[in-house]
Structure 1
Amino acid sequence: MPFMRIEYPKLGILLLLSMVLSCQGSKKMVDNDAVDSLETIQREFKAAEDYEIFARNLESRISDYKGSRTRDFDLLHTALDLSFDYKNEWVKGEAVLTLKPHFFSQYELVLDAQDFDIHEFSLLEDKGETPLNYRYETQKIVAFLPKVYEATDTLTVKIKYTAKPNESPGGGSAAITDTKGLYFINASGNENKPVQIWTQGETEHNSKWFPTLDTPNEKATQEIRLTVDQKYRTISNGVLKSKIQNGDGTRTDHWVMDLPHSPYLAAVVIGEFAEIVDKWEDTQVNYYVEKEFEEGAKKVFQNTPEMIAFFSEILGVKYPWQKYDQVVVRDFVSGAMENTTLSVFMEALNLDAREAIDSEWDGIIAHELFHQWFGNYVTTESWANLALNEAFANYSEYLWYEYKEGRDDADLHHVSEMEVYLDESTEKQVDLIRFYHEDSEEMFDSHSYAKGGRILHMLRRHLGDEAFFKSLNHYLVQHAFSTVEVHDLRLAFEKVTGQDLNWFFNQWFLNAGHPILEYVVDYSQPENLLLTITQTQDLKKTPLYKIPFKVSWYQEGERQEKEFVLDKKKQQFAIENQTPVKTLFFDEAKELLSEKKSARGKAHFITQFGISELGIARYEALDSLGSNYAEAEDLAKTFGAALQDPFWSIREMALMQIAKHPEWQMEIIGLEARLLEMAENDPKNTVKSAAIEVLAALDPDKYSPSFLRWMQAPSYYVAGAALSAYLENENNLNRREISERFEQEKNVRMLVALAEYYIEDSVDLKGDWFHEKLLNLSGQSLYYFLGYFGDYFSSMPSEGTADAIEKLYAIGSKEKENYVRVAAFQSLFGFIDEPGVLAKTMELFQNEKDELAKRYMEFYLTPYLDEKLNP
């Protein structure tokens, strides 16, 4: 299903917090009406601080049990004939549905059809076409059948209709920000973007553009005829059977999907796309992007055939569909969507050839591909069981990184995802499989994705690879082209392993929360260490867990490991290590989904960094030293050694810490030579860029010639860092000339280097440049640029403050990404003295529907309100 992204990069959080602090020092005059509204909001903030009250209020809103939808009919086949009204943004359709009663006799047929005009509804029989009486109330059609149909009967109905997807749009969720089902992009052709149509069916939104049984526990074959302007390409599920030129400037493409899948996975994409032809064995594996990104797409998606081969091998189930296409569209309402044989991606994957050098999109590509098995081939029977789709797709990212990049990269990704879940858990703890929820969109959270993936990781590590993947194979083979619930997954594992796994599935899939483990190691008997672990989670809300875990230590450079099982609130374990041990590691590989608390100190982390063979353990050690002991005088040696670490992320972290501590630079032997070597030759471009930043701090004059050379590097990471380093040095007298050489760049890493220089040096006459760049950015690039945009115009009012304010307000009002709206809101604070700006910021806050975005806006408003109301 849609790929979940971290909504706020860590840098963004720092910017938010710094903005809060900067707001506290200013005093502004406000009118009484504004003060009254601010007081009201401030009271609401304080009330919302009590999470227990919030949780109870949430529980009181939860209504019905959300189980699997009752299947009165089986949908066997759907045939659609579609054309499009771009002016009104309507779909003109004819649908022919073939169905049969599932078991019980039926005398009426109920179909999902949201916001249609129904023109005809008829029954197709050998003797001809018979109009049916029906009732329609905007969401469902109830057709009255001429006789009672039994389970042995088959009926075919035809519906002529006009679908109006823009009517009654919904709010969506964190993963899917809108619910129109079908989207016209730049239908008028007047905007600075291509004309496109694309669909997004999950959860139950495809019934916004064709009548169906819009539920995941339905499976059917389909065919779609699309009549479009002949300049457009169409892409849909299955195989393109024919293209017919109609003689009026249009063409009708006939797509056939002859393997059954759920209605939410049906998809259509229409637009002008370049086609990059690829394959895996004899299977078509094509990529579709706008023409200017054709070369970049070859790099971005190049690993797809290898991914298909890898997943087919480890699952023991060959890729099950007719082909696999991937297309990048504009203004997508999710990260990506795994429609059967056709995954659709957000425009952030539109990269030119140079940007694609540093493409980091393999995770999302693997995620959507894995859904072709887990989600499409075998599908959750209800949204309550969504984790059966999303946990597997999330875990596929780990599997791919482990295979392609190595375990260290995979483990770092694993811990990052764990932190995503733990962050959400501070405000929300719910069952992974949850039948009681208000709206199915609520299921698309970090529980279903990140927590689910971590649970699968623990199950794999507990059972071992052979048992884990053989169980997945059994699950897929047993339930091919059908729908499942969580017990089907448990039974598959039990069938293969012979073990009763209720204990694991009950505590992890069917209960909320996670363990909080406090542990102490007693080293008083070095030959037999004692480990005491206490589960400190609230047992009124959270289970007492049964947790298989590992301890490890190093003996003469060799790693030793033992496994134990924790199943009591407080438990002591004799390690019986025999040989004296000074440092014991509990869960060294960070496999357990838990919060762990212990009294490890600086010496422990120095030892851990020095001896652990696991990259993630060395990463944790270095991170802990940098975060908790950065002012210690004896860490230079450790961070200097980290520059030689084989794990790129550790090298990068070491560079960041060394940049913060100039006093270490004299203590690290050969530092300057090592930095230069890293900037020139490190295999990771992010490490190269970090090395350049340290060199800029160390001796900017000496390395200015190198910065000029590195500005031409193929990687934007490297070029952007070099450009920034050069422009920051006031001794470079040609900075204005150098900056203007790069003003036509589109990549945000180059743009922010220029923007920072223009702001810091108060370079005038750059207002038009800022406006032009803002217009052509989107997503994370827009997010990072917005702060510079606001800073320039607030510090240079002669460049056009009023226009800048209106643009920020428009982005804060209309941008689909919540973190971009927050960045625009933040930037408006730089103009808070200007007439009407306070009212605009208040309006943005009051109209914000996303709870996470609203919470971040509070970071700005609260200190400002405190100052205004309590001067």
Structure 2
Amino acid sequence: MAQQQPKPADPRLKIYRETPAKINDLIHTKLDVRFDYKKAYMYGKEWVTLKPHFYPTDTLRLDAKGMDIKTIAVVKNGKNTPLKFTYDSLSIAIKLDKVYRNNENYTIYIDYTAKPNELKAKGSAAITDAKGLYFINPEGKEKDKPTQIWTQGETEASSAWFPTIDKPSQKTTEEISITVPAKYVTLSNGRLSAQKANADGTRTDTWKQELPHSPYLFMMAVGDFKIYKDKWKNKEVNYYLEPKYAPYAKEIFGFTPEAIQFYSTKLGVDYPWVKYSQIVVRDYVSGAMENTSATLHGEYVQSTPRELIDAYYSQGRSTIVHELFHQWFGDYVTAESWSNLTVNESFADFSETMWAEYKYGKDEGGAHIYDDLQNYLSNPDAKTKDLVRFHYKDKEEVFDVVTYQKGGCILYMLRNYLGEDAFYKGLGIYLKTNAFKNGEAHQLRLALEEASGRDLNWFFNQWYFGAGHPVLDISYKWDEATKTQTVYVNQTQDGDPFILPIAVDVYAGGKKERHKVWLRNKADTLTFAVASKPNLVNVDGDKILAAKKTDKKTLEEFAFQYANAPLYRDRLEAIEAAAPAQGDKNAQKIILAALKDKYYGLRIEAIQAVNMTNDEVRNAAQPVLQSIARSDENTLARAAAISVLGKLKASGQLNLFKEALKNQSYAVQGAALNAIGQIDPAEALKLAKGFEADNKGALTQALIGIYSTSGSDAEWPFVYGKYSELGPQAQFNALQKFADLVGRVQKPEYAQQGINEIKELGVRFKQYVGDYVKGMLNSIKTKREALKDDASAKVADDAIKAIDAK
């Protein structure tokens, strides 16, 4: 067999991504903008004030992507003197009127037109989905979609709507006057300083951001929004929502002032900006964005009270606090370069765990950080990437599971090592020292060292400037003769060992004794003198390590761990060890105990793990599951129990399921409808009709499933309409049942609607699900041929080819 040649490394990975040199510094940016909705143009006038950073200069380069540049002039004594410039569609090189020194400010006037929809990527500029400025339904032609304008600056897309030095290392104050049809609301950074009604039916709003921030954090939004006014201390806290969601503003965002107070207290730095607004827009290109004093959210955070019943600490709520924390870590002190993005995003990620612990309890925090760890560990490429990354192909790649989830786990470890008080004191020092400036990992280290008095070079070298994680193999030996407990910890990852300060808890004789130890070697042997054989040795007793581990405990030891060790991860490890071994009495003990765990997330883990094919387990679990299904305080646990009971297909449970249909939770209703469908499909089909008017989330998925299994052409318009509205993950989850219905509807036009919807999913996400989607389309093709519907079979064949061609 011929030897496979190694894939050549991408040459871009060899480029050192230095912080761009500062030749000129931004000082103040004043903008006057208006819009052409039909053309999707923005007409802008800009007055940008700068000064040389250190060395004298007679040149200025500004980033300006895809614009028409009409005039560039220097402003002196109120007069504009035109300047010579060259423009290559990405940046403007301007010849100044003289040599300026770093004690001299100068102001440049620019008259320009931004054309975001005509923006094309050129050369190495990765701006295909970075238009900066977005016109949503600008002419109002799309039914049920509002007309909006909004911006998205990160990473370097603000320069698609105003010329600037588009680097995070720059900071500038800002004033923006926005002229819009008078019926619309505007939002931007800072305070609304003036509103002026114009004779032509427009209104000009002027916003002033009087504290400096980076250009990528500039924002504006325009549209029909209702404003709910809240406050924190004497500062405005406002929520901008579409009118139909405005009644639920308090339910969606109402905890924001409490979160501002919590973070202000923890950090020792009060919320620094003049106001805090949050706005929800349509068709947003990411999850959310922490624009200074004005966070922009995608529409998924908009929820009705019924949806919020099932939310708990959902993505929406965790995103709200994530973006809020950026107002300190990201906006107040900003990463000096994208290589140092960790000082923005790792902190925002970690803040989600901080809020979970504070608001929902230690178990919720433990679950959140554990999910972070699993997200990182499940990505095989992540272990090759440093947290502070000076080599990358494209800056967008730094926004990944290393910067976010692994970075959050590293801060979780660091807080544990330093202790709560020293850790947060250090964060306060970092923020105060670098206020309204830029920061990087070294400054974070110095601040934490100042607070704690401890050297942290070893920690930062391995976790910030190195890659990977420990892979631990842990085994145990008890020597009865010498009353010695030995623990063997082997680090099996490639490369050098990690230095790991951890706690080892030894449970024996009804007591727990804690030992603080340092692991420093590829193979460490720990010995403990104990009066009697321990019931449990719990390595990493605080469950803080960002590590993958194989822990060779017995099921008896895991049962003791579940009952006695206090943390979320202690109990989860026991449930995971027990799940595949439910023939064992200790495993059964763990699973049955976990069905009644105090934390709903672990109850759900146990519900989903319980082996109902084992008579002994089923007989013990069934009454507990019925109790959970009827009355658990957590709707997601109730839904999970109903789903498990439904798979038993026992007609005796029908009344329980029908009762659950009266619950206000969409999750409970969806699970109940599916469970009825397992026992009596015809009854489920009949009952489903009653939920067509009001359904979201799990209930919508259940309706699609019931109709796809038992319905016909009569149900197609509903199924197709709902399926096409689902997000990509939900569409994938419902794909098999949807494809079944597409295969058997009588009308060819219905089949072809469904085929095209499935094709879009396969084309958009070919890398992840392309082959699976093609398999579904092949199955549909076969079924359409059997129905003598050759036209639809050809559409399915063309769809497969379209996925292959992408």
The separation in 1 between residues aligned to 2:635 and 2:587, in whole angstroms, is 26
Match of 2:715 among 763, 766, 769: 766
User: Could you give the per-residue CA deviations for residues 674-699 of structure 1, whole angstroms, max 9, x where no partner exists?
Assistant: 33332233221111112222343457
Aligned residue number for residue 549 of structure 2: 596
The separation in 2 between residues aligned to 1:137 and 1:112, in whole angstroms, is 10
The separation in 2 between residues aligned to 1:276 and 1:560, in whole angstroms, is 53
Matched, 1:252 2:201: no
Q: Provide closer, same or farther for how the CA distance between residues 306 and 176 of structure 1 changes in structure 2, counting only shifts above 3 A.
A: farther
Match of 1:622 among 572, 575, 600: 575
The separation in 2 between residues aligned to 1:582 and 1:202, in whole angstroms, is 53
Aligned residue number for residue 843 of structure 1: 802
Aligned residue number for residue 514 of structure 1: 469
Normalising by structure 2, we get a TM-score of 0.93
The separation in 2 between residues aligned to 1:630 and 1:53, in whole angstroms, is 45
Map of 1:289-688 to 2, 5 A cutoff?
289-359=241-311, 360=314, 361-426=316-381, 429-525=384-480, 527-539=483-495, 543-555=496-508, 557-626=510-579, 628-632=580-584, 635-658=587-610, 660-661=612-613, 663-668=615-620, 671-688=621-638
Matched, 1:776 2:725: yes
Aligned residue number for residue 224 of structure 2: 272
Question: Residue type matched to 2:547 in 1?
Answer: S
Match of 2:177 among 213, 222, 225: 225
The separation in 2 between residues aligned to 1:387 and 1:311, in whole angstroms, is 19
Match of 1:133 among 66, 84, 87: 84
The separation in 2 between residues aligned to 1:297 and 1:661, in whole angstroms, is 46
Residue pair 1:284, 1:323 contacting (<8 A) in 2 also = yes
Aligned residue number for residue 162 of structure 2: 210
**Residue aligned with 2:536, SS:** coil
Note the C-alpha offset of 1:639: 1.9
Q: Could you list the runs of 5+ residues in structure 1 that have no partner in the other structure? A: 1-45, 848-871
The separation in 2 between residues aligned to 1:271 and 1:481, in whole angstroms, is 30
The separation in 1 between residues aligned to 2:78 and 2:301, in whole angstroms, is 52
Question: Which structure is richer in relative contact order (CA contacts within 8 A, separation 6 or more)?
Answer: 1
Q: Provide closer, same or farther for how the CA distance between residues 594 and 127 of structure 1 changes in structure 2, counting only shifts above 3 A.
A: closer
Identity fraction in percent? 37
User: Could you give the per-residue CA deviations for residues 91-141 of structure 1, whole angstroms, max 9, x where no partner exists?
Assistant: 110111011111110101111101110011111111621111111110111
Map of 1:689-768 to 2, 5 A cutoff?
689-698=639-648, 700-730=650-680, 734-768=683-717
Residue pair 2:52, 2:101 contacting (<8 A) in 1 also = yes
Q: Could you list the runs of 5+ residues in structure 2 that have no partner in the other structure? A: 783-792
Matched, 1:88 2:88: no
Q: Which moved more, 1:415-424 or 1:604-613?
A: 604-613
Map of 1:782-797 to 2, 5 A cutoff?
782-797=731-746
The separation in 2 between residues aligned to 1:821 and 1:250, in whole angstroms, is 48
Residue pair 2:582, 2:588 contacting (<8 A) in 1 also = no
Q: Provide closer, same or farther for how the CA distance between residues 825 and 474 of structure 1 changes in structure 2, counting only shifts above 3 A.
A: farther
Aligned residue number for residue 103 of structure 1: 54
The separation in 2 between residues aligned to 1:599 and 1:276, in whole angstroms, is 55
Aligned residue number for residue 758 of structure 2: 808
User: Could you give the per-residue CA deviations for residues 412-466 of structure 1, whole angstroms, max 9, x where no partner exists?
Assistant: 1111111111122446511111112221111111111111111111111111111
RMSD of the TM alignment (CA)? 2.7
Q: Which moved more, 1:444-453 or 1:641-650?
A: 641-650
Q: Which moved more, 1:657-666 or 1:332-341?
A: 657-666
Residue pair 1:221, 1:258 contacting (<8 A) in 2 also = yes
The separation in 1 between residues aligned to 2:506 and 2:703, in whole angstroms, is 50
Q: Provide closer, same or farther for how the CA distance between residues 532 and 811 of structure 1 changes in structure 2, counting only shifts above 3 A.
A: closer
Residue pair 2:685, 2:710 contacting (<8 A) in 1 also = no
Note the C-alpha offset of 1:189: 1.6
**Residue aligned with 1:466, SS:** helix
User: Could you give the per-residue CA deviations for residues 598-653 of structure 1, whole angstroms, max 9, x where no partner exists?
Assistant: 43343332232233222221111102211x32454764343222222212122112
Q: Provide closer, same or farther for how the CA distance between residues 824 and 297 of structure 1 changes in structure 2, counting only shifts above 3 A.
A: farther
Aligned residue number for residue 9 of structure 1: none
Aligned residue number for residue 10 of structure 1: none
The separation in 2 between residues aligned to 1:733 and 1:790, in whole angstroms, is 20
Q: Provide closer, same or farther for how the CA distance between residues 428 and 88 of structure 1 changes in structure 2, counting only shifts above 3 A.
A: farther
User: Could you give the per-residue CA deviations for residues 721-770 of structure 1, whole angstroms, max 9, x where no partner exists?
Assistant: 1222223322x864443121112234132222222222332544222122
Residue pair 1:779, 1:820 contacting (<8 A) in 2 also = no
Question: Residue type matched to 2:636 in 1?
Answer: T
Question: Residue type matched to 1:792 in 2?
Answer: L
Note the C-alpha offset of 1:473: 0.7
Q: Provide closer, same or farther for how the CA distance between residues 164 and 332 of structure 1 changes in structure 2, counting only shifts above 3 A.
A: same
The separation in 2 between residues aligned to 1:795 and 1:500, in whole angstroms, is 68
Q: Which moved more, 1:832-841 or 1:709-718?
A: 832-841
**Residue aligned with 2:112, SS:** strand
Question: Residue type matched to 2:101 in 1?
Answer: E
**Residue aligned with 1:66, SS:** coil
The separation in 2 between residues aligned to 1:200 and 1:347, in whole angstroms, is 15
User: Could you give the per-residue CA deviations for residues 659-712 of structure 1, whole angstroms, max 9, x where no partner exists?
Assistant: 6435245541xx554333322332211111122223434574333233233212
Q: Which moved more, 1:633-642 or 1:192-201?
A: 633-642
User: Could you give the per-residue CA deviations for residues 358-417 of structure 1, whole angstroms, max 9, x where no partner exists?
Assistant: 222221111111100000001111000011111101100111111111111111111111
Q: Provide closer, same or farther for how the CA distance between residues 177 and 194 of structure 1 changes in structure 2, counting only shifts above 3 A.
A: farther
**Residue aligned with 2:38, SS:** coil
Matched, 1:145 2:100: no
Match of 1:184 among 135, 139, 147: 135
The separation in 1 between residues aligned to 2:246 and 2:767, in whole angstroms, is 29
The separation in 2 between residues aligned to 1:822 and 1:210, in whole angstroms, is 43
Question: Residue type matched to 1:97 in 2?
Answer: V
**Residue aligned with 2:651, SS:** coil
The separation in 1 between residues aligned to 2:767 and 2:230, in whole angstroms, is 35
Aligned residue number for residue 27 of structure 1: none
Question: Residue type matched to 2:565 in 1?
Answer: S
Map of 1:107-122 to 2, 5 A cutoff?
107-122=58-73
Note the C-alpha offset of 1:317: 0.5
Residue pair 2:42, 2:113 contacting (<8 A) in 1 also = yes
Note the C-alpha offset of 1:719: 1.7
The separation in 2 between residues aligned to 1:127 and 1:307, in whole angstroms, is 46
Q: Provide closer, same or farther for how the CA distance between residues 372 and 826 of structure 1 changes in structure 2, counting only shifts above 3 A.
A: farther
State the number of aligned residues: 789
**Residue aligned with 1:460, SS:** helix
The separation in 1 between residues aligned to 2:774 and 2:228, in whole angstroms, is 40
Residue pair 1:589, 1:617 contacting (<8 A) in 2 also = no
Map of 1:16-55 to 2, 5 A cutoff?
53-54=6-7
Q: Which moved more, 1:266-275 or 1:187-196?
A: 187-196
Question: Residue type matched to 1:240 in 2?
Answer: L
**Residue aligned with 2:706, SS:** helix
The separation in 2 between residues aligned to 1:445 and 1:796, in whole angstroms, is 42
Q: Provide closer, same or farther for how the CA distance between residues 823 and 225 of structure 1 changes in structure 2, counting only shifts above 3 A.
A: farther
Note the C-alpha offset of 1:149: 0.5
Residue pair 2:704, 2:723 contacting (<8 A) in 1 also = no
User: Could you give the per-residue CA deviations for residues 251-292 of structure 1, whole angstroms, max 9, x where no partner exists?
Assistant: 111111001100000011111112222111222111122122
Q: Provide closer, same or farther for how the CA distance between residues 716 and 453 of structure 1 changes in structure 2, counting only shifts above 3 A.
A: same
Q: Provide closer, same or farther for how the CA distance between residues 229 and 783 of structure 1 changes in structure 2, counting only shifts above 3 A.
A: farther
